[in-house]
Amino acid sequence: MKEIEAVIGESRYTIEIGNRLLLDSQRLKEKISGSGKCAVVLSNYLYDLHWEYLIEVLGGYTNKELFLMQDSEENKNYIYAENFLQGFAVKGLARDSLVWSIGGGVVGDFAGYCASLYMRGINIVQCPTTLLAMVDAGIGGKVAVNLQSGKNLVGSFHQPILVVSDTVFLSTLPDREIKCGLAEIIKHSLIGDAASMDILLKHNLESVKDESVLSELVYHSAKFKVSVVAADEKEEGLRAILNFGHTVGHAVESFMAYKDISHGEAVAAGILAESRISKEAGLLSADGLELVVDLLKRYDLFDNSINCGSDGVIEHMKFDKKNKENSVRFVLLKAPGEALYNQTVPNDIINRAVEETLA
């Protein structure tokens, strides 16, 4: 087991990374001692895949209530959240209760959002089960649900008391989900995570699937995100670099109503578009852009088949949370490993880059 100590604002918690960690119920109970009833928000898809393991894991806890979640992105909304919050009340959750999220990024965001609201906030343990969630959504305390206008527009900051990344769940991830996580890891490597960049440049989509390689990537990428969030919990400055690729990526997702595209695929398109914007704005060199393209191709994320018009995506970018004074704000690359946040560029550069990426 590898551990990362996260000290973020007034919160201090451990991120554990290893195989079959959830079976050690005694150790976990000690970590969450003092908690009352536990609401387990569990991905229904994950339960179907790993029901034997999960029954064994959850059998070690008597004071629990199980809430299965349809974990598609379109269900990450506050109407669906109201059903879960009402369920918490019916099952008798109190101020000393705990929410335990077991699933991918959608489940983690959704369960964290519910925990942040119920009785003005109760504790949550995040157990991310996808590569994407282990390096991104499960860390940092940003929880939210979507509106039709845009992604994650309703949310809060609610740090977990523990994160358990059990790599046993990575064994059943399809290639598409592995690539989703790799898109975020590539993003981290391009904005400053040198350790992950070194690993990515030594591997390809096939060799990176080795459990030991994935575990190393999870460790370094999660550690990098913790370092950024610890320096700026509420995204008042530096933490904004984590949005690289997401201004365009989130707009693609919301424009497509979160259907027929994964978060990782949208972020990969955003990374490419925003790297092109960086070059056209005179920041990123041609060699720097070539490295971005190489990484996306190496991990089969250079996708020219996204079928959505650039005009609609550009319109949805207007709802991005980072915008100020009716101006779209970007995270751009000055060089691989060096990002600049709160950047504005002329509309014609934005339009050309987005159109070229989504053509």
List active site positions: 120, 142, 184, 225, 235, 239, 243, 246, 250, 263
CA distance 63 to 70: 23
Answer yes or no: are the C-beta atoms of 60 and 38 closer than 8 Å. Answer: no
- Secondary structure string (H, E, C) spanning the chain: CEEEEEEECCEEEEEEEECCHHHCHHHHHHHCCCCCCEEEEEEHHHHHHHHHHHHHHHCCCCCEEEEEECCCHHHCCHHHHHHHHHHHHHCCCCCCCEEEEEECHHHHHHHHHHHHHHHHCCEEEEEECCHHHHHHHCCCCEEEEEECCEEEEEEEECCCCEEEEEHHHHHHCCHHHHHHHHHHHHHHHHHCCHHHHHHHHHCCCCHHHCHHHHHHHHHHHHHHHHHHHHHCCCCCCHHHHHHCCHHHHHHHHHHCCCCCCCHHHHHHHHHHHHHHHHHHCCCCCHHHHHHHHHHHHHCCCCCCCCCCCHHHHHHHHHHCCCCECCECCEEEEEECCEEEEEECCCHHHHHHHHHHHHC
- Residue where the block lists tokens 């809430």: 67
Answer yes or no: are the C-beta atoms of 191 and 241 closer than 8 Å. Answer: yes
Rg (CA), the chain: 20
CA distance 178 to 166: 15
Residues in the chain: 359
Answer yes or no: are the C-beta atoms of 209 and 326 closer than 8 Å. Answer: no
